[in-house]
Amino acid sequence: MASSVAGPEIERLIQLLSKLPGLGPRSARRAALHLIKKREALMTPLADALQVAIAKIEVCHTCGNIDTQNPCTICCDTRRDPAILVVVADVADLWALERAQATRGRYHVLGATLSPLDGIGPDDLSIDALVSRAHDDRVTEIILALNATVDGQTTAHYITDLLQDAGVKVTRLAHGVPVGGELDYLDEGTLSAAMRQRTLF
């Protein structure tokens, strides 16, 4: 093991930072040094923000979103369309769709996708809650906004089967050419999906 260059408190800070996604030991060391140098401007406000987050952040009982209120801001927003439920695997996906202002519907966060290899089965996902929300008379469309991976699509098929008698339209995101994408650079799977799902011009 490499010898420590700083006291145990700083080593602990580096060790914790290195557990963040996208940060390895080197970048964690750089981030720790940056925080220490910007102690007043960054480190103290960050520590305060983390403490507030620990005290206030909750998982929305309705949709599974993360917020400082429960039900979350999106579930409470009366301007949202109650007819549309957008199903996502993770809160990160919900945030991505919100950043894109892609929908005015409400969400349902599954928590993961089905993954037999990782031991993730239907009981590990909030599927029962989704089925009961789908039976709400106001809901007319369920949009499956799941990853275009084997696990994502397996989950989509599983949910579609369960929603057969819910009296809702089940749709999924289109697969195809990304905005700004060049055909020559696309993989064969994406190209053939784009060709199959072509739309009227």
Q: Which residues bind Zn ion (CB under 5 A)?
A: 60, 62-63, 65, 71-72, 75
Between 63 and 139, name the residue whose CB sits nearer to Zn ion: 63
Angstrom CA distances, 145 to 73, 90, 142, 154, 176, stand at: 20, 10, 9, 13, 14
- The answer to whether the CB of 74 falls within 8 A of the CB of 63 is yes
What's the distance, CA 122 to chain centroid? Answer: 18
Q: What is the DSSP letter of 117?
A: G
The distance of Cα 125 from the centroid of its chain, to the nearest Å, equals: 13
Are 28 and 14 in contact by the 8 Å Cβ rule? The answer is yes
- Output the smallest distance, CB 144 to Zn ion, in A: 18
CB nearer to Zn ion: give 19 or 99. Answer: 99
Q: How far is the CB of 101 from Zn ion (least distance, A)?
A: 18
Q: Which is nearer to Zn ion, 11 or 81 (CB)?
A: 81
Closest approach of Cβ 33 to Zn ion, in Å? 38
Q: Is residue 163 within 8 Å of 134, Cβ to Cβ?
A: yes
Q: Whose Cβ is closer to Zn ion: residue 28's or residue 88's? A: 88
- Which CB, 14 or 86, lies closer to Zn ion? 86
Q: How far is the CB of 158 from Zn ion (least distance, A)?
A: 23
Residue 130 beta carbon to Zn ion: minimum distance, rounded to whole angstroms = 13
Whether the Cβ atoms of residue 123 and residue 129 lie closer than 8 Å to each other: no
